[in-house]
Amino acid sequence: MKLPVSPNRDLGQHFLVDENILGVIGRLAELGPEDVVLEVGPGLGVLTDYLAERVARVHAVELDRSLEPHLAPRENVDLHFGDALRLDLAALDPAPTKFVSNLPYNVATPLVVESLDGLPSVEHWTVMVQREVADRFFAVPSTKAYGAVSVLVQLASVRTGFHPVSRTVFRPQPNVDSALVAFHRTELPEEFATVKRLVEAAFAHRRKTLPNSLEISGVAPRARAIEALATIGRDPDVRAEALDPPDFVSLELALR
């Protein structure tokens, strides 16, 4: 299939071209006529058109303004050009209720993490990401994939669907596998911003014990961290990957 534009390698563009995957996205996203969808990286608009036919409104955020001629104008699609990590997505009107995207690989993780508390109106995510990232979102403790992203996503949501995606649905074909992962919001823990800082500090130095990592990151003195760990029934030599997501909420409370 010949593309109408040349993909921008600097932006890591891999355009979605196979419409067969759209039905899977629609099923996982549980699309309804009242939904307001945030789509980041619409590319050539294949997914955008599909969404626009099924929901009330689509906010499509695209960094590459040269793609504007290829994004067919629709009454219920608002195009926003700019860097999704810099735009004030919380100011979108109407506020998005679902996040459905073929996410650019280089911004997928920070976009999802920031949306957990930064976009409180979003109740459901269905995102196409690198398979490694999709596995990381809901990895279990004491595994290689488990990290800060796993903890934060699992504290804010539950997974509702997963679907491996063939490289052939993209042009050009990426050198990595992809997957669709869907998850639904649960109630955010209190002081989530503080918990997030704690979690990111805990995994910043994976090879070190948790008290040492927290001290190096400036979150808490080592002695105080050891005392807080004892409060939640954990040994002083424990590492971050051994803690379940709820343990970090308890640890943050103990550190207070």
The answer, yes or no, to whether residue 157 has pLDDT greater than 60, is yes
**Of 65-69, 126-130, 206-210, the least confident:** 65-69
Give the burial class of 121: count Cβ atoms within 10 A of its Cβ; 0-12 exposed, 13-18 middle, 19 or more buried.
middle
Mean pLDDT score across all residues of the chain: 92
By CB atoms closer than 10 A (0-12, 13-18, 19+), residue 136 is buried
| Total-model pTM | 0.92
Phi, psi of 74 (to 5 degrees): -135, 150
Res. 18: pLDDT tops 80: no
What is the set of domains in the chain, with CATH numbers? 9-185 (3.40.50.150), 192-255 (1.10.8.100)
pLDDT surpassing 90 at residue 237 = yes
Backbone angles phi, psi at 83, to 5 degrees: -80, 120
The single-letter code of the amino acid at 229 is: L
Predicted local confidence at residue 16, as pLDDT? 74
| ω into 94 cis (within 30 of 0) | yes
Percent of the chain exceeding pLDDT 90 equals 78
Q: What is the pLDDT of residues 43-101, one digit of tens each?
A: 888 999 999 999 999 999 999 888 888 787 889 999 999 999 999 999 999 999 999 99
- Predicted local distance difference test score (pLDDT) of residue 71: 83
Specify the DSSP class assigned to residue 138: T
- pLDDT of residue 144 exceeding 70, the answer is yes
